[in-house]
Structure 1
Amino acid sequence: MTKHDNHKTTSIASLMGTPVVDATGSAVGHVREFAVAPSVNASHVYGLVLKLVASKRGDRPSFVYVNELCHTPSGAIQLREGAIPAPLSDDETYLLLERDLLDQQIIDVHGRKVVRVNDVNLTWEPAQEDSPDLSLRIAEVEVGMRGAVRRLLKGLPATTVERLADRFSPSVIPWDFVDLIDPERRVRLKIDQDRLSQMHPSDIADILEELAPAERQALFESLDEEVAAEALEEIKPKMQQSLIESLGSEQIAGIVEEMDPGAAADLLAELPEERSEAILEEMDPEERQEVEELLEFEGDSAAGRMTTEYIALPVTSSVGDAVQAFRDFEGDIEIITDVYLLDADERITGIIPVARLLLAAPESVLDELPHGHLVTCDADAHGRKVAELFDKYNLHSLPVVDRDKRLVGVVHAEQVIALLRAQH
């Protein structure tokens, strides 16, 4: 590296196999791997693993620190005077970039998808300002065709490879944004929980479905209970069972308590009875009772599809009472589109769209507001009948009633969509 070339961009594919010489110019070996010590600095290469020439070869791969290196005009990497490669210690646990990153699945949290690493871009730069010592910073990972071409053409002249690779638009993820999922390694990069928790549950579900089983399990177990619950609701039953199979009953119960009761009942209904009972035993009494009541219904009936998360108030309640009910509501507030009115015997008498509440004075009595069109179904109605009612009346929600016409639950549009998806 010359005085005027303080920063030089390169990559794993470009550097792999690069000759390494000693201070006199004699061949020492060539680059075999790039070692990162996350506990020291997770954004820089700590040292290079070398394959020595036959005359210098020992029993183990050799290791040299990056700050013991410099460049030659020929493009070879040169050891500083006095630097001697040492055998790579078995006690050291490094993240090796080619072994542990290339072809690995990583989460692109901004693209909301799973991608594979084709190359890793590196930058040679001074360890400190005006310092002769070098550092090798990990800049970004290549996940597009440019990185794939570099690896495919490895061994050809570097200028030729770069000219061909540059015909493809770069598709990169900054190193700071990379989440490596690798449960087999003792060292792995931290999963960015903040970015994951800001993603839509269906996007997290898509990512989980794209990952290989071990990586999928590692990611799921890293999620907090609320995020895990929301994602689990979006996943197909077979994969749900796979994800919770290795978890303890207490851990699963914490996740199930955060789920919509109807979705929780559907999940537990697919498990062996003994396993389901063990999970229920670990749940808080109130949540357990809700789920147990739903488990009594046939899965493809209206009652089997309904949830007990809804807002229902006496007909004499005011708009102010409804607003307070929304504030006290502990379920998923985003799915609530209507408020249900009940008489003294808990029978449903009316439905008020949320939009009506926004236009009314706080002291207005709910029963005096314009009602929406009330459509109900029996608890034992078939799932196909439920879907037909949603389609016929363009419903956002459907109250489910028992034989005495008392409100026992509500089917929301998202449950119908899930039903239809499961049938196709």
Structure 2
Amino acid sequence: MMLRRTLLCAIISLWSAGTLADAVLTPVYGDGALVGFNSIDPPHAASSDDGNPGATLGEQRRWAFERALEFWERRLDSNVVIEVAAQMTDKACDEFSAILGSAGPRSVSRDWAAGPGGSAPSEANTWYSIALANRIANEDLIPGTPDITSEFNKKIDESTSCLGSNTWYYALGEAPPGTTSFFATALHEIGHGIGVLTFVDKASGARFSDRDDIYMKFLEDHSTGKLWSEMNDTERMNSAIDTSDLHWVGANVTAALGSLTGGVSGGHAQMYAPDPVQGGSSVSHWDTAIQTADGNHELMEPSATGSEKLLLTGEMLQDMGWNDVVANNCTFASSRQTLSSIYTGTNEHEACISVTYDGAVIISGDTSATAGREVVLQNDFTVEQGATFSVEIDPDIGL
């Protein structure tokens, strides 16, 4: 079964011409009444059993999508709200394969002037996805429109001819057999919206509006030694199908390759460059060969594998101009902390996904944990001396 993600680039407007906080990503739902994200159909039982509180299918969809927004909020730094448009639509699907979703920036920007607290682009005459441009400029350069457009395949829930009896799974964690994680798919698509893509036409090698984009400036063809910004259209067209030789050469990504057991050659990470070119997937994803020793793949690969994590995407975004993407936004710097004394009382901690308790743990009272939100240890929460209190920083997210 092939479960694919593709790019959706609806570039409708162009723009020429302080301390950053965690980003705020706001959903803008585009479905009509009673359909898609507003459906009043009964909720999926498996998702309800596993923690999705939605009382209708639409509420479950919105809850899962908003958890994905929160996941990225904790990993991005921007003072400018990022609006993310979302719809459930009909996408290609048959018994054996489906396009799960698509997304991309709604607009692009270049050569803006540095305003108060902001900066000009680091690369002149270069296109940036609008969310990143806003982050660097520290202002909304194209107000009044969403920054990201995303769509998700509603046929997966509605048609038995689409992947047979497979349905969306709207809770967090690993999707049960016969389901596909909506949360993980949303994470992936939002990743494209914040900048994991090139605006180059892969079939022809032509640049958008005859200018470089910031993503392509980190692409190199190892067989020629040329960066995409140094190539002509024909060279880029050929490079887009130069399997295993198309590499990302940004410094942050290159420094993070030590944990990988596949998808690295010539000291660089491989990009997805199959022959023939796949229009919605080629170049704007990591190579499917990238993985770790424990079998994890990258979130931003072209197809869902069920074992993806953020292995290199945080560093990729840093190479392009996002800051602190991979910084630990949770209270604990490591996944475990052994306590030297009794831990009691009301305390608040942040967790990216979940909380676990190991060792001799006494819990008197309640705890609550929601992805991307605070973990609240209620009154009378007690951990014995010498026990281990564990906050899972970036576990497998069950893609």
Q: TM-score range by the shorter chain?
A: under 0.3
When you count helix as a share of all residues, which structure comes out higher?
1
Whichever of the two has the greater Rg, that structure is 1
Structure with more contact order per residue of length (Cα contacts < 8 Å, sep ≥ 6): 2
When you count strand as a share of all residues, which structure comes out higher?
2
In the superposition, the TM-score normalised over structure 1's length comes to: 0.22
